[in-house]
Amino acid sequence: MRLASVNVALPREVAYRGRRVWTGIYKEPVRGRVHAGFLNLEGDRQADLRVHGGRDKALYAYDRDNSRFWEERLRREMPPGQFGENLTVEGMKENEVHIGDRYRIGSALVEVSEPRAPCFKLGVKMESPAFLKDFLESGRTGFYLRVIEEGDVGAGDVIETVSRDPAGVTVLDATRLLFSRDEDVDVASRALEIASLSVGLRRAVSERLARIAP
């Protein structure tokens, strides 16, 4: 596994359907070492803190293979940062990475916290509101990371596995559980066993389990 690019942006206003939207999704690659703090990367900020940011969503990672998938499907270039990701990674697919897994990237220790639930601003960036549906249905959502130990990261860093969560709930499992009609009681039950499960995700999984449990 490898860190291919580090991407940051400060919030800015963009025009969308006759109004102005404040967003931090327009990430651009940066060179050199970048400090990964508990809330964000140095030089990066989230716009709407009601739904973005915080300790559980300090960083957003997206696999380069996913970008290539969308390049082929949409026939357009998807450069690093296109999906609003802070970390463009290689070798970290949603069906292999688990919620609660820990990784060492550079000198930072990070933990997988949640799959991404895209807001309308991804549609703004992709110039297609309908893209949100395709994005979720593909399962190629990427995932959020909480920073356990602050440190510096940079393009080219090897990503080392520190620990794998024993519950074994992949990012793809969590995405399907939360955003599809998947009624997998076993996955929901195992998700609630994850010690580091975020408050928001625990609430969502508990509500889902209450609806699908026999």
**pLDDT given for residue 16 in this prediction:** 81
Q: What is the pairing mode between strands 59-63 and 34-36? A: unpaired
Range with the poorest average pLDDT among 13-17, 78-82, 84-88: 13-17
Say if CB 83 and CB 122 are below 8 A apart.
yes
Q: Where are the domains of the chain?
A: 2-165
Q: Which CATH superfamily is 2-165 part of?
A: PK beta-barrel domain-like (2.40.33.20)
The DSSP code for 173 is H
Q: Do 84 and 25 meet the contact criterion of CB atoms below 8 Å apart? A: yes
pLDDT score of 200 more than 70: yes
User: What are residue 87's DSSP bridge partners?
Assistant: 6, 61
50-70 pLDDT, tens per residue? 666 789 999 999 999 999 999
pLDDT at 72 over 80: yes
pLDDT in tens, 119-169: 889 998 998 989 999 999 999 999 999 999 999 999 999 999 999 999 999
More confident residue, 198 or 29: 29
Give the Cα separation of 55 and 206 in Å (integer): 21
